A and B are shown apart, each in its own frame.
Chain A
């Protein structure tokens, strides 16, 4: 028998209290693990989303770059356009590896087969040049299987063919060859135009905003929205991507009227900073949970120390040193914290899907894929944290117990 097994056995003396105290620790740890997992997962999801845009630099109409970036991630309204000849001016830049023009417009979908109301009834149309777009995103592939087979890109001049992102197609329950009807409000015309497209292909899921996009030829898109000489974005891949190169590039083109150069690196850090604000709140919640659990643990251990006054006195009488009593009580605290931490970690991992859908429901984060990522570093970090907290939580009760004077303890323990 050793001190550790005594500490374990003592938990069984007041099972309800032990369970409640451990539950408090477990809850705090579960909160900490979930939030750390969210923090980690969300950062990753943002990076993934941005990397999967395929280009490192965008040229777009002047406006808030973060708004522009969010638009790129989420698809949004308030679109700004830049003159189409910007493409020709910029194309010759020596640092550009490849460049692709994109025209984005919003159209109203015809009520879909699943009867949904007006909510979400907009489709994001992206007019692209297939060849240069595919250079940016070589991973794009057509989905295969029943209803998907035979997918292909539209011809550059085609006026009534679209390629749909995976989610936009499956949400509408569309197959390759189906019709897709949308209502477009062309620029400067008061009457909207209804247009029927044929679905030429459906893309595989990518985990990016491409999944929710309807692609069509650039020229067709410009014509439909009646903006023949305008573009939304120039996506650019640099020959060599570095901060210095980017600055050079930016200074060459900043003079273009009404145009701005947005680096996704810069967007990435800004978004991560925005997430940082949320993290401050997250940290506050975690700290409160930890403090509540800490008070619970100290209180429970102190109560059990006072209840055992007589026992502690007798242990001292039969030869326990101050350090022995200290160690015993302190181990009890550690045992509670470690059991609680393990239980809380298991709880957090088991509940991570729930947390994920809850967070997604509460706030639209504009990223796809998993946003709660619990890895072993988080688990190890939180377990270590719980041990450190247990270490400090145990100090005071252990010191109180060790300081009890044997005869006071024995006399107090008398009836």
Chain B
């Protein structure tokens, strides 16, 4: 376990917001490593800094202090487009809202990241990816013909199409009922087991959060505790 490759390494990460003369320490000195093949969940009360931390780790936001490296390369000081380049090679994203484009079919939505990578989509690969999330029979449907749980699965397939080493999901079950939430977490577990990718996930749901290999709990922008799942 310990000799697995590190995908993301954050040291002393800080993200301070200044509102007038008041400073909000959304992330306040966090050390974090994400390694290959593990599922890490970030828990904590609302406003504890989960989303902010995830945005820092996914290079969507820039830390005000500390250092961050992705696959061994320091990303501090890179431009917006350079950060996008880092992201699109390594990471897939799932958000609480699904953000599927309503005018495109499920398959076209899944292939969207390839458009930005200037890669020709391969329908067989798309269908294979949809099969992994259990949506192979919905490829030609429009998003508004899907249920909430199916939409989130389509969004997960969109994140998986580029074969990311790390899947980052901020509140992926926030808009789903408990049965759907559970099955999304089961899907994540299977992906880690079968595909060997890593998953970083935030959630309010403690029961689901404790399905991860490692559970990091935040409070006021700091790590309150870090627990490890006993190896099953």
- In order of increasing CB-CB distance, the 6 nearest A-B pairs are A319-B88, A9-B103, A314-B99, A320-B116, A319-B116, A318-B113
Please tell me if the beta carbons of A320 and B84 are within 8 angstroms of each other in the complex.
yes
Q: Please indicate which of the listed interface residues B95, B96, B117, B121 has the most CB atoms of chain A within 10 Å of its own CB.
A: B95
Interface segment, A46-54, A104-112, A144-152, A405-413?
A405-413
Please tell me if the beta carbons of B104 and A406 are within 8 angstroms of each other in the complex.
no
Q: A315-B116, A410-B95 are in contact. Are A12 and B103 (CB under 8 A)?
A: yes
Q: How far is the CB of B13 from chain A (nearest CB, A)?
A: 15
Please tell me if the beta carbons of B60 and A406 are within 8 angstroms of each other in the complex.
yes
Interface residue? A129 (CB, 8 A): no
Q: Please indicate which of the listed interface residues A310, A313, A321 has the most CB atoms of chain B within 10 Å of its own CB.
A: A321
Chain A residues within 8 Å of B117, by CB: 319
Q: A407-B61, A410-B95, A414-B96 are in contact. Are A319 and B103 (CB under 8 A)?
A: no
In the bound complex, how far is the Cα of B93 from the Cα of A262, in angstroms? 82
Size class of the contact patch on chain A: 20 to 34
In the bound complex, how far is the Cα of B170 from the Cα of A411, in angstroms? 11
Could you show 8 A-B contacts with beta carbons less than 8 Å apart?
A314-B95, A314-B99, A317-B60, A317-B93, A318-B87, A318-B88, A318-B158, A413-B97
In the bound complex, how far is the Cα of B115 from the Cα of A9, in angstroms? 15
Which residues 381-415 in A have Cβ within 8 Å of B in the complex? Answer: 405-407, 410-411, 413-415
Pick the residue among A9, A319, A414 that contacts B87 (CB under 8 A). A319
Chain A residues within 8 Å of B162, by CB: 318-319
- Tell me the number of A-to-B contacts counted with CB atoms below 8 Å: 75
Please tell me if the beta carbons of A321 and B116 are within 8 angstroms of each other in the complex.
yes
Interface residue? A13 (CB, 8 A): yes
Chain A residues within 8 Å of B113, by CB: 318-319
Per-residue 0/1 for B18-40: is the Cβ within 8 Å of any A Cβ (1 yes, 0 no)? 00000000000000000000000
Please tell me if the beta carbons of B58 and A317 are within 8 angstroms of each other in the complex.
yes
Which residues 5-24 in A have Cβ within 8 Å of B in the complex? Answer: 6, 9-10, 12-13
In the bound complex, how far is the Cα of B56 from the Cα of A407, in angstroms? 10
Please tell me if the beta carbons of A322 and B93 are within 8 angstroms of each other in the complex.
no
Which residues 80-104 in B have Cβ within 8 Å of A in the complex? Answer: 80-81, 84-85, 87-88, 92-93, 95-97, 99, 101-104
Q: Which residues of B contact A (CB under 8 A)?
A: 51, 55, 58, 60-61, 80-81, 84-85, 87-88, 92-93, 95-97, 99, 101-104, 108, 111-113, 115-117, 121, 158-159, 162
Q: A12-B103, A407-B55, A407-B61 are in contact. Are A316 and B84 (CB under 8 A)?
A: yes
Please tell me if the beta carbons of B93 and A318 are within 8 angstroms of each other in the complex.
yes
Chain B residues within 8 Å of A12, by CB: 103
Please tell me if the beta carbons of A1 and B111 are within 8 angstroms of each other in the complex.
yes
Please tell me if the beta carbons of B103 and A13 are within 8 angstroms of each other in the complex.
yes
Given contacts A319-B87, A414-B96, 16 further A-B contacts (CB under 8 A): A1-B111, A2-B115, A6-B103, A6-B115, A311-B99, A317-B87, A317-B93, A318-B87, A318-B93, A318-B112, A318-B116, A318-B162, A319-B113, A319-B117, A321-B84, A406-B60
Interface residue? A324 (CB, 8 A): yes
In the bound complex, how far is the Cα of B170 from the Cα of A310, in angstroms? 14
Q: Which residues of A contact B (CB under 8 A)?
A: 1-3, 6, 9-10, 12-13, 310-311, 313-324, 405-407, 410-411, 413-415
Please tell me if the beta carbons of B103 and A314 are within 8 angstroms of each other in the complex.
no
In the bound complex, how far is the Cα of B90 from the Cα of A317, in angstroms? 12
- Residue of B at shortest CB range from A411? B51
Please tell me if the beta carbons of B95 and A1 are within 8 angstroms of each other in the complex.
no
- Residue of A at shortest CB range from B52? A407
Please tell me if the beta carbons of A1 and B121 are within 8 angstroms of each other in the complex.
yes
Chain A residues within 8 Å of B111, by CB: 1
Please tell me if the beta carbons of B88 and A413 are within 8 angstroms of each other in the complex.
no
Q: How far is the CB of B221 from chain A (nearest CB, A)?
A: 16
Chain A residues within 8 Å of B60, by CB: 317, 406-407, 410
Chain A residues within 8 Å of B96, by CB: 414
Please tell me if the beta carbons of A310 and B84 are within 8 angstroms of each other in the complex.
no
Chain A residues within 8 Å of B81, by CB: 321-323
Chain B residues within 8 Å of A3, by CB: 115
Chain B residues within 8 Å of A411, by CB: 51
Q: A314-B93, A318-B159, A319-B88 are in contact. Are A1 and B108 (CB under 8 A)?
A: yes
Q: A317-B93, A319-B87 are in contact. Are A324 and B102 (CB under 8 A)?
A: no
